[in-house]
Copies of this chain bind each other. A is one copy, B any other.
Amino acid sequence: MKVLVANRGEIAVRIIRACRALGLGVVAVYSDCDRGALHVRLADEAHRLGPAPSTESYLRIDAIIDAARRSGASLVHPGYGFLAENPAFADACRQAGLTFVGPSADAIARMGGKTAAREIALGVGVPVVPGTPPFEADAPEAEIVAAAETVGYPLLIKAVAGGGGKGMRTVEWPGQLVDAARRAASEAQSAFGDGRCYMERRLVEPRHVEIQLIGDHGGRIVPFVERECSIQRRHQKVVEESPAVALPHETRHAMADAAVRIARAVGYTNAGTIEFLVDRDGSFYFLEMNTRLQVEHPVTEAVTGVDLVQWQLRVALGEQLTLDPARTLEPRGHAIECRVYAEDPDRGFLPSPGLVTSVTVPSGPGVRDDRGVTDGDDVPVYYDPLIAKLTVWGETRGAAIARLRQALDEYRVTGVHTTLPFFRWLVRQPAFVAGAVSTTYLDGVLAGRREPFVQPTEQQLRDAAIAAAVAAWRARADTRTTSSGTSRWLLAARKEQLR
Task: Determine if A204 is an interface residue (Cβ-Cβ < 8 Å).
Answer: no
Task: Determine if A183 is an interface residue (Cβ-Cβ < 8 Å).
Answer: no
Main secondary structure of the interface of A (DSSP, over half): mixed
Closest residue of chain B to A298 (Cβ to Cβ) is B365
Chain B residues contacting A21 (CB-CB under 8 Å) are 399, 402-403, 405-406
Chain B residues contacting A483 (CB-CB under 8 Å) are 478, 481-483, 485-486
Chain B residues contacting A298 (CB-CB under 8 Å) are 365
Which of B14, B22, B307, B481 has a CB less than 8 Å from the CB of A481? B481
Chain B residues contacting A22 (CB-CB under 8 Å) are 402
Distance between Cα atoms of A371 and B364 in the complex (Å): 9
Contact with B along A355-369 (1 / 0, CB 8 A): 000101111111111
State whether A17 touches B305 (Cβ < 8 A). no
Chain B residues contacting A364 (CB-CB under 8 Å) are 13-14, 17-18, 368, 370
State whether A363 touches B371 (Cβ < 8 A). yes
Closest residue of chain B to A401 (Cβ to Cβ) is B21
Q: How many copies does the complex hold?
A: 2
Task: Determine if A172 is an interface residue (Cβ-Cβ < 8 Å).
Answer: no
Chain B residues contacting A367 (CB-CB under 8 Å) are 368
Task: Determine if A66 is an interface residue (Cβ-Cβ < 8 Å).
Answer: no
Interface residue ranges of A1-52 to B (CB < 8 Å): 13-14, 17-18, 20-23, 42
Distance between Cα atoms of A137 and B306 in the complex (Å): 54
Chain B residues contacting A305 (CB-CB under 8 Å) are 332-333, 366, 393, 395
Distance between Cα atoms of A477 and B485 in the complex (Å): 10
Distance between Cα atoms of A14 and B363 in the complex (Å): 9
Chain B residues contacting A402 (CB-CB under 8 Å) are 21-23
What's the least CB distance linking A309 to chain B, in Å?
A: 8
Task: Determine if A104 is an interface residue (Cβ-Cβ < 8 Å).
Answer: no
State whether A360 touches B332 (Cβ < 8 A). no
Task: Determine if A375 is an interface residue (Cβ-Cβ < 8 Å).
Answer: yes
Distance between Cα atoms of A435 and B20 in the complex (Å): 22
Distance between Cα atoms of A163 and B18 in the complex (Å): 38
Closest residue of chain B to A358 (Cβ to Cβ) is B375
Chain B residues contacting A369 (CB-CB under 8 Å) are 363
State whether A368 touches B371 (Cβ < 8 A). no
Task: Determine if A495 is an interface residue (Cβ-Cβ < 8 Å).
Answer: no
Task: Determine if A455 is an interface residue (Cβ-Cβ < 8 Å).
Answer: no
Task: Determine if A460 is an interface residue (Cβ-Cβ < 8 Å).
Answer: no
Q: Which 4 pairs across A and B sit closest by C-beta, in order of nearness? A: A483-B483, A20-B406, A485-B490, A485-B486
9 A-B pairs within 8 Å (CB atoms) are namely A14-B364, A17-B364, A21-B399, A23-B402, A358-B375, A363-B369, A364-B368, A364-B370, A367-B368
Residues of A within 8 A of B (CB): 13-14, 17-18, 20-23, 42, 298, 301-302, 305-307, 332-333, 358, 360-371, 374-375, 393, 395, 399, 402-403, 405-406, 409-410, 474, 477-478, 481-487, 490-491
